[in-house]
Chains A and B, each alone.
Chain A
Amino acid sequence: MLKLEPRPSASATMRYVSPLAAVALTLFASLFLFAALGKDPFTAFRVFFLNPLRDMHALTELLLKATPLMLIGIGLAVGYRANVWNIGAEGQFVMGAIAATGVALQAGDGGPWTWVLMLLAGAFGGGMWAAVPALLRTRWRANEILVTLMMVYIAQFAASWLVHGPWKNPDGFNFPQTRMFADAALLPILVEGTRLNAAFLVALATLAVGYVFLERSFYGYQMQVAGEADAAARYAGYSASRAIWIGMLASGGMAGVAGVAEVAGPMGQLTESISSGYGFAAIIVAFVGRLHPVGICLASLLMALLFLGGEQAQQFINLPSSISKVFQGLLLFFLLGADLFIGYRIRFDRTVNPGKLPWKTT
């Protein structure tokens, strides 16, 4: 008989093993899923998981896709450590994109540093969009999960209104999108001939700053305590509302920067569907990355691979690209399940007469 037994202390090893187990289980499940869909599982596996890694160009695309996930994921981790559940990064991403587009359209051919101004505007836009739930939570205790989510829909309607209305490209054949940005409003390209741009460096820098803040600073420590034992945090005099403000502004600001990376990077304009689910995928990134900067970096690469795999699957094996989201969801399910073994272990209980065991209470 298998028996679940609490460990005397949480297993540090399992904390690292469980994401790996979740990845392995997801890959394994993918074989079954492909087979169930009537595809040769090994061909499909190769197309989905290996095609996006096949050459230098593919790898730069992977880094390009991972960039917004890193930015948003590290921001979310700051809040999640303190149990501040911002799940509206998708909306903050859109607001960042909108703010940056405002700067780009205003600047026209503008100065050579227009894109820097755009990054700042994006951080501000995303941060302000997250400040609303932070205010409502700290002043009136409104649940931030639901408020941030509702604000995703509002942000998407705002983007839709702008590209159908005031910011619509007059020469755009009636497509709901803005004018293409001027060169000065585009992020500089890092590798000639690819789409990988300076936002990737910004993301790496953010991960480094995130590391110092979360792992090495007193504020970061306070937030962690607030999340793990809020009674202890209150006793120590750590302010709960400060944790909420830091968590929301950090995640909102970073999501906003990610929005800039999209409009001033591969898109080059604001469109109605600018958010392609990065804000939600980054929630998974934050969890799978164990709310740790290094983990988030790796998880972003993995999630980017899943996104690109979906595109490959659509192109080569005729599966809808939304299969990416299925794998992303499975990954999170497996991780949450595997996490049981951080606190518990399985014992194979051979005894016929359990009544004789001294540690049995019933």
Chain B
Amino acid sequence: MENHLIASMLAATIVSGTPLILVAMGELVTEKAGVLNLGAEGMMSIGAVTAFAVALSGGGPVLAVLAGMAAACVMALAFGFLTLTMMANQVASGLALALFGVGLAAFIGKPFESTPLPMIAPVPVPLLEHIPVLGPALFNQQAMVYLSWAIVAAVLYFLYRSRWGLVLRAVGESPSSAHAVGYRVITLRYAAVAFGGAMAGMGGAFISVFYTPLWAEGMVAGRGWIALALVVFATWRPLRVVLGAYLFGGVMIAQLFVQGSGVQLDMPAQLMSSLPYIATIAVLVLISRNAHTIRLHSPASLGQPFRPDA
């Protein structure tokens, strides 16, 4: 019985951390290329509503996720056009994307509100699912959870083991040097921004199609912003993003388990609900105190526009 409870808490933590991993991985790659896209919340919302619309019209989960990714990717490219081609301020453009995306998603999603989708069954991994405690928690999950692990591995390999990953990091550290040796800085940054958008879209799709299969305005609930904070928390290192995402996933589901466990806490539900946001602030403060770590790991050209001819 105890084991069962631990396993289900662990499983729920992993599910609730998954969208954060997806979005933060995309943002990490974008920022490694030197572009700060604050629009994650907007791209996630667009991804979520598009995927939901496709799933609702019978497109199936795979098509739904792909559609969500494509829609968010288009948003990201609009951001890329503003900041890379038009050289607009990245902070302001990211905010614009966040506000626009959330608004547009609310607009598109109005007709679908309060129409639920059927739950998608988890996919057990043969053999591994029978490991005590960890088995049911780790290996009886939604397919997207396994996919998130594969993406983390791919990002790790790409950034630190592949030539193009090295180039991408060079573009983030010193765009003018990368340009001087003949790499197309702007094109690479577009690619990184597009990848960030696709991942944010996937994270949004996960929420509206797999996690809570319905659409409600504001259902992304700040996860895009939390993912941005996660990248800072992880000081731009992929494995620490995973750790952070599961930590936050745990905080986010704590409320459900307290309510479900029957323990009478003398604490309003709203206080429990605000814990992830309070935790984000606390973590940001803890990490930011060490300016040295941040400076050492953050891409040197983060947020700076680059113009090849200038």
Contact = CB atoms under 8 A, between A and B. Distances in A.
Interface residues of A, number: 45
B100 A337 contact: no
Given A145-B91, A157-B273, A325-B106, A332 B99 contact: yes
A332 B104 CA distance: 14
A140 B93 CA distance: 26
Given A85-B91, A329-B96, A339-B88, A153 B284 contact: no
A31 interface: no
B265 interface: no
A324 B93 CA distance: 19
B222 A146 contact: no
A178 B279 CA distance: 29
Interface in B133-179: none
B184 interface: no
B218 to A, nearest CB: 10
B186 interface: no
Interface stretch (B13-21, B64-72, B208-216, B285-293): B285-293
A322 B107 contact: yes
Contacts of B100: 325-326, 328-330, 332-333
A71 interface: no
B225 A150 contact: yes
Contacts of B87: 340, 343-344
Contacts of B88: 336-337, 339-340
Given A333-B78, A336-B92, A143 B277 contact: no
A140 B289 contact: yes
A325 B104 contact: yes
Contacts of B78: 333
B181 interface: no
Given A160-B270, A322-B110, A325-B107, A154 B277 contact: yes
A146 B107 contact: no
B106 A320 contact: yes
B300 to A, nearest CB: 17
A115 B81 CA distance: 48
Interface in A295-329: 320, 322-326, 328-329
B19 to A, nearest CB: 16
A170 interface: no
A87 B91 CA distance: 11
A257 B310 CA distance: 45
B232 interface: yes
Contacts of B280: 146, 150
Contacts of B104: 325-326, 329
Contacts of B225: 146, 149-150
Contacts of A136: 281, 284-285
B281 A165 contact: no
Contacts of A330: 100
How would you classify the secondary structure of chain A's contact residues: helix, strand, loop or mixed? helix
Interface in B203-230: 217, 221-222, 225-226, 228-229
Interface string B274-310: 1001101100110011010010000000000000011
A141 B107 contact: no
Given A146-B229, A326-B100, A326-B103, A337 B86 contact: yes
B89 interface: yes
A142 B268 contact: no
Contacts of A151: 277, 281
Contacts of B102: 325
Contact of A157 (B91, B110, B232, B271): B271
A339 B89 CA distance: 10
A147 interface: yes
Interface stretch (A92-100, A117-125, A228-236, A280-288): A280-288
B9 interface: no
B106 A161 contact: no
B82 interface: yes
A228 to B, nearest CB: 12
Nearest to A149: B225
Contact of A336 (B96, B107, B229, B232): B96
24 contacts: A140-B285, A142-B288, A143-B229, A143-B232, A145-B91, A150-B277, A151-B281, A154-B274, A157-B273, A161-B269, A165-B268, A322-B106, A328-B99, A328-B100, A328-B103, A329-B96, A329-B104, A332-B96, A336-B92, A336-B96, A337-B86, A340-B87, A340-B88, A343-B87
Pick the 10 closest A-B CB pairs, nearest first.
Answer: A325-B103, A329-B100, A320-B110, A161-B270, A322-B106, A336-B88, A157-B270, A332-B96, A150-B277, A157-B274
Given A149-B222, A150-B281, A160-B270, 7 more contacts: A154-B274, A284-B96, A320-B107, A322-B103, A322-B106, A326-B100, A333-B82
